[in-house]
Each structure stands twice: as structure tokens, then as C-alpha cells.
Amino acid sequence: MCTYATVKTSLRGSAKGPDSSWFRVTDGTVYFDHPVHAMAEHTLNIDFADPSRGPSARVAVELTAASARDLVAAIQAALRSAPLALTT
Amino acid sequence: MSESLIAETVQITGQGGDHVEAYLARPADEGPRGGVVVIHHMPGYDRATKEIVRRFAELGYDAICPNLYWREAPGAAPDDAAATARAQGGVPDERLLGDVAGAGAYLRSRPSSNGKVGVIGYCSGGRQAVLVACNLNVDAAVDCYGAFVVGDPPEGFPLQVSNLVDQLPNLRAPLLGLFGNEDAHPSPEQVAELDRILIVNHKPHEFHRYDDAGHAFFAVDRPAYRVAAATDGWERISAFYTTHLGG
């Protein structure tokens, strides 16, 4: 199916690529839909992007649902492991 | 069947007079022949879609696919363009209609045209093919597993899409529908509902439903590909267009 559902969020940070270049990330787009490249019928897809630099200023990730949940847990664990003062 | 083909990028005049990129594939001989407008799936104007366009040329049609994301991302890689269009809310129906109308007019203006044009769409393009057949003068339409022709999108839906139930009485071309019984959007129940609505409205249509197939079973580069469904589906499409486009 095409879920169409798209969740957008503003981000502050950086990402590497394309062309192995770093760029500032301003926007995150998250959706569960068909992947372009991953060998799964549906994946959790994340685009880290800076739309002001054009469509190619994007780092795309396609993860199986289980992998996406593992990633969420890993992110939360990493954030928890840091001193609270640094992550608020 | 055509052995020698010509494939190229062209510009068409789309919605609002905008110049829009399109991929054209056609037999090398003079014709006359019908035309097919291919509406690409949500992942965009990609290599797999262009293969489909060339296959229609091999079947003996002038075939064209407008790049529906050209305005958001001219010249971008197809996946980047699709991501940009998605983040901006997708393609509005009015713009889709204008771009497909431009693509159809381009085909009919060709010296090789027999005046007939069909439309086919995959995935989100399946819904759009039905939308086209309800609003534009086409001679045949093919809906490959389009979601939300009937049924309501989830609440808070971020893309500009609604179902077509109120438009179906205006369907003005025969419709071929190809669906997977393991698909959830459209579900088998939604396919049955669409079938009932078309029967009640006396709209000529032909539906085929495939077991062991879900969404996107024509997609040769994805795990969803199902050879039996796709092979039979191509045969159905070929026969349908031969009947209605004089292929």
C-alpha cells in the first residue's frame, strides 16, 4: 500500500552526504511507505534535508519497522546515558 | 509489436501553461496508432516507470509519462524529487489533471496519432487514472491498485487526496482495474465496493483480482513483484488497449 502519511519535523543539526559533504539539516520527514532501495515491501523512511539547498540536499534512510523501533530505543538509551544537563 | 523504438525527454504544456518534462517512447514507424499516458507511482518519475513507458511503445503505442514532480524538483534525481514533493503535500488533483491533459494533447498532436489516448496509473497513479477518466476525454483507463478511489483516507491526512466516489458517475471511459487480494489499500472490500458503484452507474469496466499479490505487484525492482499477476496483468492491459485504442 501507499500509506501517504507523512510526519514532518524541524531539526537542528548536520548530516553528511551527498558527495560526502556535510550540510546543515533543517527539516526531517518521516513516513512508513514503500522504500526506494531497501528489500522490504514497506519501511520507515527518514529524510534529513535542507530544502533551501534543493532536493538533493537530503540524506535518506529506509529501515524495516523492527529496525526503526530498535533505532528509537538506541537513540533514547544514548540520550539517557548522557548527563541531563547536556540533553535538555 | 514494435521492434525499433525511439525514447526521449520532451517538454509538454501542463497545468497553467507550465512547461513540464515528460518521457516519450514510440515505435519508429509512422503509424497511425493510439497513445498511452503513463502516470507514475508516488516514488516518482523513475527508471522502472520509464521501462513501463518503453514497454507500451514496444506494444505499439506512442507512450508518454509526465514528470509530476517537475515543478518541485526540476532535474533532481527521482527519489529526491519524490521526497521533496511528499514533504510539500503531494500533487494536487487539479494540477494532475492539467498535466495529463497536456500529455494527452501532445500525443494527439503527433502525426502518428490515430486520435485515441488511454491512461494508466500505478499506486497513487491508479487513483489518478480514475480521476482522469472522470474529468478528461480519454478512450480507456487502467487503474493498477490505486488507493482511495473509494474509502476515506485516515484523519489528519497530510497529502491532498480524497476519494472519488462523488466523481464516479462522471466516468467517461471504460476502466480496467488490476488488484492484489493481499493489498490493504485498496482492500478487496474496497475493490468490491468500487465494482458495485460502477455497476449501479452502468459504467463499463473489467476487474481482475490476483491471489498471492499485494500492492505494487507490477514493480519489477521491488519485493512486491509477483510474476504471475504481473504477466497476466500485462496481457489484460494489452488486450484492453487493443480493443479501445486500436493498437
Enumerate the domain spans of chain A. Answer: 7-87
Do B158 and A33 count as a contact with CB atoms less than 8 A apart?
A: no
Nearest to A2 among B79, B123, B223 (CB): B123
Residues of A in contact with B48 (CB under 8 A): none
DSSP state of B200: H
Task: Give the CA radius of gyration of chain B.
Answer: 17
Which residue blocks in A1-88 are alpha helix, DSSP H? Answer: 65-81, 84-87
What is the CATH architecture of B5-245? 3-Layer(aba) Sandwich (3.40)
What are the helix and strand counts (H, E) for chain A?
2, 4
Do B84 and A51 count as a contact with CB atoms less than 8 A apart?
A: yes
Chain B: nearest CA to A20, how far in angstroms? 16
CA distance A50 to A47: 10
Catalytically active residues of B, by annotation: 123, 183, 215
Do A58 and B80 count as a contact with CB atoms less than 8 A apart?
A: yes
Contacts of A6 (CB under 8 A, 6+ apart): A29, A30, A31, B86, B87, B158, B159
Mean pLDDT of A3-17: 88
pLDDT of residue B158: 60
| Mean of all residue pLDDT scores within chain A | 91
Nearest to B43 among A1, A34, A47 (CB): A34
Sequence spans of domains, chain B: 5-245
pLDDT of residue A19: 79
pLDDT of residue A62: 97
Chain A: nearest CA to B179, how far in angstroms? 11
Mean pLDDT of A2-15: 86
The pLDDT-based confidence of A3 (bands split at 50, 70, 90) is low
ipTM of the complex: 0.75
Strand-pairing partners, residue B21, are B11
Strand order in the sheet with A58-63: A7-16, A22-33, A43-49, A58-63
pLDDT of residue B153: 74
pLDDT of residue B156: 62
- Whole-number Cα distances in Å, B42 to A34, A70, B107, B128: 9, 27, 23, 11
Chain B: nearest CA to A76, how far in angstroms? 26
Amino acid identity, position A70:
D
What is the pTM for the complete model shown? 0.90
Residue ranges, chain B, pLDDT below 70: 154-160, 247
pLDDT of residue A1: 47
pLDDT of residue B89: 85
pLDDT of residue A20: 83
Nearest CA in chain A to B225: A41
Residues of A in contact with B81 (CB under 8 A): 55
What beta strand segments (E) does B18-124 contain?
19-27, 33-39, 62-66, 113-122
pLDDT of residue A54: 92
| Burial class, A83, CB count within 10 angstroms (exposed 0-12 / middle 13-18 / buried 19+) | exposed
For residues B63 and B56, the answer to whether their CB atoms sit within 8 Å is: yes
